Structure 1
């Protein structure tokens, strides 16, 4: 598979799987912070059940696309929608997905198994059973794999260093929790993350995206990069039930909420600086 093949595959899928932050306009009682809190919790659940990163990102995609199809969703059922999205995603991605009872239990038994099953059907119908998007994490993994490959290497065999990949995923996790991440296509988000770890020429080659195409996202991402950088390197987590070659693919959680507070402070500082410039 060449970078051109990867690019065409992702572009075709993006045409069938639409996401937009305009979803918030359809739900007056729901604030962007509620989405952030929900997704942060789903990351925690994913780590608790040693689910793969792709499972969480599928759940995030299902949630955002589902909310785009609905109007006036009550904020009190966001957790039900979120855990159901993760339940569906785990059945799509995991060899041994958590059982329905485990999903109900992790909500502190706020929701019963039957309620999750009922919501599952509602979500599946709303999404038209379209459950196989290219997520931001799948794009990032493909790009990094292509960027790390030798001429004669097999695309199916991991070529990239796990520790570097984990640094990338922490940045992407932090970004995806912010509602404005939905301003960008997943492939642009992934390429923008990659641009902070490899040369721009390589990013353009593996993603099919020019610097002009990614620059708005790169600029938006700057405060996230700064915040992540202040925390030092993330370690590759050890999981007793996970093989060494797969441990970097397991979704892990850190204190993303505190990190986002730092990001928002930087955003506010930038806005204040811009206002002062205009005032002068």
Structure 2
């Protein structure tokens, strides 16, 4: 066997090619790693894909894929002056992963050849390195590492906004920015939980009676949920800044609802209707004067992050149904009546209400990674607030302030008030 100078990548000239006359020796067969096309075993003439002779299809290329792992291994180990050898290594070292071998080439397909040449007759010289044991082991280990990485798949968080891509009202493009803004500004909408001692003529119990009564008024007027939460926020922010005598407290309440209706409702109740529900204890002029006082005290700031805006987002993250939604709102409205709940942020109140409702319906502690991601609150962070909510739920049907319980005991609200409270949370450890 003598070496062919043109085949610089080190193959030996086959015995059948010694007397080829003017026939050109094989050159690059385009099996180099990184070549634009797949590796080619041999270029044949007059063969179709099924191996039959076809004069109209003079060229047939047997394509053999280069596996990704082995190509990367060869490329990392090859030197610049050994690219041809590495490519040949790639071609012959992966026969077990290749397609069936190309059909043999007969003398009829080679016009210049007098004898038949079979692809299987090609052999490698000792100069061409075959896959070593270490390389095979490295390839196997690489494959194992890939499998292990595929097995260790981290739990993916579902896209809760994917179903609303075609809904312009959902503003999917901006919803995350909107709630980032809400979280930054919710502190300004919070009220100091110690403002009541500065009131000389009213107390926490009077505030609770007012809110409980306004919940019934809100229900009778069939107003939007946003209106109720904004009404409570306006009352607390005003009382934290202005002292009010006892006989004017109801006027503050109905005026706050009047302002909230102007901000949230499409159809606003007329002033005469509000005077009527107060049993004509106030005049129209007094209500309009109180409206001016409240709006100037709050500096016309009606855009605040109430628990309602967070409730809608967090319920979506919890993949809620109607039953969970109604029970969550029942619990959060119980919190509106309680003065002590002012110490919690609106976002925390919303998350804790949904968590408490889920525990109540399921009978065990339940808080998913999706809920934790979108609320930014872990289960342990919600537990303190949730225990208070469980206590409110347990006592909602007793006592004098039962407006929320009566509202959510109707079929319109799914009789959510009759759900069993999650009493096991009272004994849960942090």
Q: Aligned residue for 2:377? A: 209
* 2:82 maps to 1:82: no
Q: CA deviation at 1:7?
A: 4.4
Quote how far apart the aligned CAs of 1:57 are: 0.8
Identify the residue that residue 219 of structure 2 maps to in structure 1: 47
1-structure distance, mates of 2:383, 2:211:
26
Task: Compute the displacement of 1:235 (Å).
Answer: 4.6
Name the residue aligned to 2:300.
129
1:51–1:94 CA contact under 8 A, matched in 2: yes
Structure 1 ranges of 4+ moved more than 3 A: 1-7, 225-236
User: What is the aligned partner in structure 2 of residue 191 from structure 1?
Assistant: 351
In structure 2, distance between residues paired with 1:28 and 1:146? 43
Which residue is 1:258 aligned to?
A: none
CA 1:168–1:235 in 2, change beyond 3 Å: closer, same or farther? farther
Q: How does 1:99-114 map to 2 (within 5 A)?
A: 99-114=270-285
Question: 2-side partners of 1:236 and 1:191: how far apart?
Answer: 25
TM-score when scaled to structure 2? 0.49
1:57 and 1:103 map into 2 onto residues whose CA distance is: 18
Structure 1 residue 237 and structure 2 residue 387: aligned? no
Q: Give the 3 Å change call, closer, same or farther, for CA 91–23 of structure 1 in structure 2.
A: same
Note the C-alpha offset of 1:217: 1.1
Structure having the higher helix fraction is 1
Taking structure 1 as reference, are residues 226 and 4 closer, same or farther at Cα in structure 2, changes over 3 Å only? farther
The alpha carbon displacement at 1:91 in A equals 0.9
For the pair shown, which has the larger CA radius of gyration, 1 or 2? 2
Q: Which residue of 2 aligns with 1:68?
A: 240
Q: Secondary structure at the match of 2:357?
A: coil
In structure 2, what is the Cα distance between the partners aligned to 1:28 and 1:229?
Answer: 31
Partner of 2:401: none
Q: 3-state DSSP class of the match of 2:377? A: coil
Q: Does 1:174 align with 2:334?
A: yes
Deviation digits for residues 168-190 of structure 1 (CA, Å, limit 9, x no counterpart): 11111112101101011111111
Between 1:171-180 and 1:191-200, the stretch displaced more is 191-200
Unaligned runs of 5+ in 2: 1-171, 359-365, 399-404, 418-422
CA contact (8 A) 2:331 2:357 kept: no
Structure 2 CA distance for aligned equivalents of residues 10 and 234 of structure 1: 32
Higher relative contact order (CA 8 A, sep 6+): 1
Aligned length: 231
1:27 to 170, 186, 199: 199
How far 1:104 sits from its partner (Å)?
A: 1.1
Contact 1:3-1:146 at 8 Å conserved across structures: no
For 1:35, what is the secondary structure of its paired residue? helix
Match of 1:245 in 2: none
Q: 1:108, CA displacement in angstroms?
A: 0.6
Q: RMSD value over aligned CA atoms?
A: 2.8
CA contact (8 A) 1:163 1:235 kept: no
